[in-house]
Chains A and B, each alone.
Chain A
Amino acid sequence: QVQLVESGGSVVQPGWSLRLSCTASGFTFSSYVMHWLRQAPGKGLEWVAVMSPDGSHKYYTESVEGRFTISRDNSRNTLYLQMNSLRVEDTATYYCAREGIGPLHDYWGQGTVVTVS
């Protein structure tokens, strides 16, 4: 079955960096577009970044452009999110998700918590 497991969340200070990982199993990772999304405490969902299956295309939401970098290692079935210059407003649970039905997210990971304080 499809599984997505995020890791790397932590408590950091403003301006610090952090790298999140999302390890996939149960499907051919290298064939799928993958996303990062986030949810601030008690708030709704926000799309963060997307990467094409071969890594050649990537896009970001405006608030993280220039600070966050999405990448993937298809040999390790892993998606990454490098987060630099973190801000208090980046505090959230970060989810990775697979794009599996057209451009819709069909499977989500359990999430990893990032606290910037």
Chain B
Amino acid sequence: VVLTQTPLSSPVTLGQAASISCRSSQSLVHRDGNTYLSWLHQRPGQPPRLLIYKVSNRFSGVPDRFSGSGAGTYFTLRISRVEAEDVGVYYCTQASQFPWTFGQGTKVEIK
């Protein structure tokens, strides 16, 4: 499954919203009925950390300014009000079909 993210770079103003899209080459609906699409955030020099799982569920400790949506082959991560700590690279990833794959990453930076 190929995941294509847009944009690849997103300069944003502090306090403004940001949105990242992830398009899949195949449906991500698993045979069990779940859609195993998640979003990861990687700050410079840090490992990735899980933000959103199964399309729209925030992981433990993730601020509510992060939200995920979508279905089938098109998904979106939205940050309602960007803060300085949100800089870094965001990846979508799927686990509905073997093997696990990742989008190319979207770099979010402050204008």
Chain A residues close to B by CB (< 8 Å) = 35, 37, 44-47, 50, 59, 61, 95, 99, 101-111
Main secondary structure of the interface of A (DSSP, over half): strand
B53 contacts chain A at the CB level, 8 A cutoff? yes
Q: In the complex, what residue of chain A is closest to B105 when comparing beta carbons?
A: A44
Q: What is the CB-to-nearest-CB distance from B26 to chain A, in angstroms, rounded to a whole number?
A: 16
Chain B residues close to A by CB (< 8 Å) = 30, 32, 34, 36, 38, 40, 47-50, 53-54, 59, 91, 93, 95-96, 98-105
Main secondary structure of the interface of B (DSSP, over half): loop
The CA of A23 and the CA of B23, in the complex, are separated in Å by 35
The CA of A111 and the CA of B100, in the complex, are separated in Å by 18
Q: In the complex, what residue of chain B is closest to A99 when comparing beta carbons?
A: B95
The CA of A33 and the CA of B96, in the complex, are separated in Å by 15
Q: In the complex, what residue of chain B is closest to A93 when comparing beta carbons?
A: B47
Whether A44 lies near B48 (C-beta < 8 A) is no
Whether B102 lies near A46 (C-beta < 8 A) is yes
A110 contacts which chain B residues (CB < 8 A)?
Answer: 47
Whether B47 lies near A111 (C-beta < 8 A) is yes
Contact of B47 among A47, A99, A101, A108 (CB under 8 A): A108
Whether A105 lies near B93 (C-beta < 8 A) is yes
